[in-house]
Amino acid sequence: MRILITGGAGFIGSAVVRRAIRQGHEVLNLDALTYASCLENLKEVENHKNYSFQQIDIRDKSDVRETLFDYKPNFLINLAAESHVDRSIDSADDVLTTNVIGTYVLLDAFTKYWHENKKNMSYKFHHVSTDEVFGNVENSIRFTEETKYNPKNPYSASKASSDHLVRSWINTYEIPAIITNCSNNYGPYQFPEKLIPVVILNALNNKDIPIYGTGENIRDWIHVDDHADALLLLLEQGKNGETYNIGSNCEMSNLSLVNLICEILDKQLKPIKSFKSNIKFVADRPGHDLHYGIDASKLLNNYSWRPKFDIKKGVEQTVSWYLNNQEWLDNLSNRQGVGVRLGKI
């Protein structure tokens, strides 16, 4: 496959790029290199003959269209997004323009490109989204592909908007496209503003480990490599016009997850007192949904994908990676938001 991947220097995007190159695909990575992007995530593939990179903002119509027509991919995966809820609360400008306008720019360019070239080969536009668009789980019922959208914060609202744009393009212009909605990702190379890397980084620096509210918020957690495998499988085999939920059935409260990380760090580093003593409960962020749970039965029942990581194995691997890659963390130390929780308005 010849794949154009937007946001390929980010956390999930770089995992997909690495996976795609290992599988023998050709990849062009488009990334604006905003604060959370990191080309060091792609050291493994940067000199590979099938990999190329261009620094492009998906909001730039002329650059996007020119690149699409020049590279001539048959698949496009949209992973470019401002994805941090806390930052969207502090300021929604980049979240809205990148996630909504950027998606429109990609759809517009892809539609023109597809109409001019569709007789030559098969094509697909794969829009990657989140389970946060569904809002809070009611009565412990997990989200399905038919669950109504109920976004509760600027980030989830922007992703819901972009999902609706893609569906409108499928219905209006009949473009070949799919949408995937995934649960919380974790794993190596995650920018240290999200929960798991913040816990690890702050523990290593003997700082407070902040947990919102009482820590009872529940999320379904999936290792980023499992997510990347599912995305590439559905890119090739997913049915145009369909939506697929991706999750690994690993629901856990934030407090339980933080305790698990601290226990793994205690075991590996053997501190004088447990890292759990650094846990500090802080004021909850506005609009914080209590419970997300995702039903991935459609994917599991119709395709060969299965998650390889359970939560304990995945978190152990992730903690070990951060401990063995402190230079990667050090190189990010001057960037805004590293090791802190935002979203305080």
> Rounded CA gap, 202 and 29, in Å?
32
Please answer whether residues 166 and 125 qualify as being in contact, where contact means their C-beta atoms are separated by less than 8 angstroms.
Answer: yes
Please answer whether residues 97 and 57 qualify as being in contact, where contact means their C-beta atoms are separated by less than 8 angstroms.
Answer: no
CA distances from 216 to 9, 166, 213, 223, 256 (A): 32, 34, 8, 21, 8
Nearest of 80, 169, 200, 197 to residue 129 by alpha carbon: 80
Q: Which helix (H) or strand (E) holds 181?
A: strand 177-182
Task: Report residue 182 CA to chain centroid gap.
Answer: 8
Nearest of 96, 3, 43, 95 to residue 328 by alpha carbon: 43
Among 31, 57, 86, 131, the active-site one is: 131
**Any idea what DSSP says for residue 274?**
-
Among 26, 31, 82, 132, the active-site one is: 132
Task: Report residue 181 CA to chain centroid gap.
Answer: 10
Residues 6+ apart with CB under 8 A from 17: 5, 8, 27, 29, 42, 45, 51
Looking only at the bridges linking them, the beta strands covering 51-55 and 124-130 are unpaired
Residues 6+ apart with CB under 8 A from 276: 259, 262, 263, 266
Task: Pull the structure tokens for residue 260.
Answer: 């698990």
> Rounded CA gap, 255 and 216, in Å?
6
Catalytic residue status for 155: yes
Among 113, 155, 189, 244, the active-site one is: 155
DSSP-H helix ranges across the chain: 11-22, 61-71, 85-90, 93-96, 102-117, 154-173, 195-204, 224-237, 254-269, 297-302, 311-324, 326-331
Catalytic site positions:
131-132, 155
